[in-house]
Structures are given as structure tokens and as C-alpha cells.
Amino acid sequence: MRRRAAGGVPDVASRRKNRADAATPTPGSGRDTYVLRLYVAGTTPRSMRAILDARAFCEAHLADRYELEVVDIYQRPALARDEQIIAVPTLVRSVPPPLRRLVGDLSDVERVMAGLELANR
């Protein structure tokens, strides 16, 4: 059963870990855990597509090494303002550093991998 965040946007945080754990590699794997935040605008078809694309990408390429939080900018405008989000959908990778932002269509896997700098890891 999928939980719904405020505003009806599905909460797709499939892999929840606290931030202290997220900043450290999984023991024995030598691979980082990724902390991602996806900013969307309500429950528009474009927002729903971005959520599905982000979740599918994470499951396919990051498996058990990610935390994905979906933020509806209509429900949490202060967070979007503080993070300087000017367009949606925007996918932000905060861990591992450096911070990376990817704006727009998330269906192109190669573009997402390059934007999040996953090809080098």
C-alpha cells in the first residue's frame, strides 16, 4: 500500500534511512547511499510521470541504496523557496556530495545518470 503525502502526491520514499545513515556507504558494499528529493507541482500528469520515472530509475539503478522524498511545492512552498527550486519537476541529489540538480523529463535514463553523475561511481 502506497502512502500519500499531503496534497495527494504519493509518498514514494521506498528506501527510508535517517540522514546520518544515508551519508555513509552500506557496510561491505563500498557504494554510496543516495539521498534524493523530487520536487513536483501537485498531481498533474507531468508530476505523476516524474514520480513514476524517478522511482523506476532508483529501483533499476540504485536498488537498496537510495532514499527518495517527493515534495509537492504547493504543499511545501517554503522548502522549495529555501532550496531555490524554480522549475518542476526537479530531482535533487544531496548525498553523496556534491549537490546535483536535474530539471525536467526523467524518462531518459542516460540523461538522469549523467545529471546525477552516476556513470562515474
Q: How far is CA 94 from the centre of its chain?
A: 9
Containing 50, the helix (H) or strand (E) segment is helix 45-61
pLDDT of residue 7: 52
Placement of cell 530531482 in the chain: 91
pLDDT of residue 32: 81
CATH of domain 6-115: 3.40.30.10
Please list the ranges in the chain whose pLDDT falls under 70. 1-30, 120-121
pLDDT of residue 58: 97
CA-angle at 49, arms to 44 and 55, nearest 5° = 130
pLDDT of residue 28: 37
pTM over 0.85: no
Query: Do residues 40 and 71 make contact, with C-beta atoms less than 8 angstroms apart?
Result: yes
Query: Do residues 26 and 15 make contact, with C-beta atoms less than 8 angstroms apart?
Result: no
pLDDT of residue 18: 40
The domain limits of the chain are: 6-115
pLDDT of residue 34: 95
> In whole angstroms, how far apart are CA 82 and each of 24, 85, 117?
25, 8, 24
pLDDT of residue 21: 45
